[in-house]
Amino acid sequence: MNRWSSLVALACLLPPAAVAQDSNQVARPGAMVSLSLAEALRQARANSPTYRQTLNDAGPAKWGVRNAYGSLLPSFTVSSDLGYTGSGQSNFGGGFTLPTSSFLTSGYSLGFEWQLSGRILTAPAQQKALQRATDEDISSAGVALTSEISTQYLNVLQADAQVDVARQQVKRNEDFLALARARHRVGQATLLDVRQAEVTKATSDVALLRAVQTENEAKLDLLRRMGVEPPVAVDRIELSDSFPVTAPAFQLDTLLALAERHNPTLRALKAREHAAGLDVRAAKTDYLPSLSLRAGWSGFTQQFTNDNLILGQARADAQAQAADCQYNNSVKSALSLGGEVPDCFAAAKLNSSGTDLLQPVAQDLLHQNSAFPFRYTGQPFNANLVVSLPIFTGFSRSLRLSQARAQQEDADEAVRASRLSVRSDVQARYLALQTAYQAIAVQAASREAARDQLRLAQDRYRLGAGSALELSDAQNTVQRAEGDYITAVYDYHKAITALEAAVGRSLR
């Protein structure tokens, strides 16, 4: 799949005015391409390699169910064969040998077989349970993908907000440098203040460059997780969604109940637990009899390749028969027994001189020999019904039943462990969400205090009561406070995303 196809999808999000100007262009040079969270999730579901690998499990699971139902029906087989045997000599013992002709063979068989046992009867339900488990695994992968893309989308927004903070710091340092130079010109500040302002300005410029680099890397990471290549230069991609901060109104009991019903990992383990129970039932049926029915039709052909050898052997047999007949006639004549004297050559199907077979007889032999490959000689229909009940199998049935019960108990414990893990994870995410929301208020107050401190430091420096170092420290403090506030805001949104992943469904 061409990953550049994402370009078309992203281009659909261009502002209407830009699209109206040129509907044939995907993205004009310099034009910004916006990306919403919904579009990012759609692209990820279509292109994420990890998620698509999980989707591939759906096909075998579906055919597993079909195969289980198909095992309840009889199986039909049709076969055909062709063969060749070379010429040689047949040894009859006592030094008596006869030459043999090479011959061709062919055959066919048509049959059906139907088997019925306890395992075959329980297989459909077991495979359907495994299919449900596979579907839940796919749902779990979808939830994980949604959480991954949403978190990285928030990381990009956070990095973008940090870029704005860095730009604000650059603007403050530009004003600081201009003020320091102005005061130096009128003799109210030293050259040291100017150099301090220049160093501070250069530091903020570097911080801005690094913030932009961090933002671009976050965008590239988002596109990588989506499974697409950047359709345009990464600095021309902007995210269109915003996330307001609202007080969390979730109830822990409700969240735990939702996780019990919707968490796909827990649901997949429950489906496998059900399949393990069915496997125990199937193992118990090994103690019951099984039924097998077979029936079919078949046929064959055989054709000698040496016609002269066939005719020669038939002529020799006929001449031997004629000789016996002539001997009997001579005995009857010598003993004067009377009676009808048969025509020995005619009886042996030889010509009047007894040197060769009659022409119709020779043609009939050749016709009968020319059976290869489709003049089959059919065999009678055959059928066989078998009822089997193993008496002693070396404790193999007991072993299979014990293994099935152990797997069922393991599945039960896996479900219990997963339920405990899910409940613990939901509670931890819920507490983390409460903490993240409270941290926003604390960081907001800290940001306002830092801004007041900066205003006081600026006023003191203008009046000559403060130093350049004091003002620089105040600017750095407000930058850290603004950055910490942004971190707190996006930690809150990421906490909601993590809580949704633990519950297994969207909460907004």
Model pLDDT for residues 274-295, shown as the tens digit of each residue: 999 999 999 999 888 999 999 9
pLDDT tens digits, 378-429: 889 999 999 998 888 889 889 999 999 999 999 999 999 999 999 999 999 9
In terms of C-beta density within 10 A (0-12 exposed, 13-18 middle, 19 or more buried), how is residue 301 classed?
buried
**Facing residues of 85 across strands?**
103
Average per-residue pLDDT for the chain = 87
Whole-model pTM: value is 0.76
Q: Which residues contact 291 (CB under 8 A, 6 or more apart)?
A: 114, 115, 116, 117, 385, 386, 387, 388
User: In this model, does residue 29 exceed pLDDT 60?
Assistant: no
Instruction: Output the CA torsion sign for 149, 151, 157, 163.
Output: negative
Which residue, among 273, 247, 316, 504, has the nearest Cα to 404 in the 3D structure?
273
At which residue do the structure tokens 């996780």 appear?
A: 259
For residue 25, the model assigns a pLDDT of 37
* pLDDT value for 31: 76
Place of tokens 């020999």: 369
Domain with CATH 1.20.1600.10 in the chain: 3-69+120-289+394-503
Is the pLDDT at 455 greater than 70? The verdict is yes
3-69+120-289+394-503 CATH choice from 3.40.50.2300, 1.20.1600.10, 3.40.720.10, 3.20.20.70: 1.20.1600.10
Task: Kindly list the distances between the CA atom of residue 459 and the CA atoms of 153, 173, 357, 466, 471, in Å, as whole numbers in the listed order.
Answer: 40, 15, 137, 8, 9
pLDDT digits over 146-164, tens only?
A: 999 999 999 999 999 999 9
C-beta separation of 200 from 478 below 8 A: no
Angle at 229 between CA 223 and CA 232, to 5 degrees: 95
CA distance 385 to 291: 8
For the stretch 228-241, pLDDT in tens is: 999 899 989 999 99
pLDDT at 227: 94
Beta carbons within 8 Å of 386's beta carbon, 6+ residues apart = 291, 292, 293, 294
Residues 6+ apart with CB under 8 A from 197: 173, 176, 177, 179, 180, 181, 468, 472
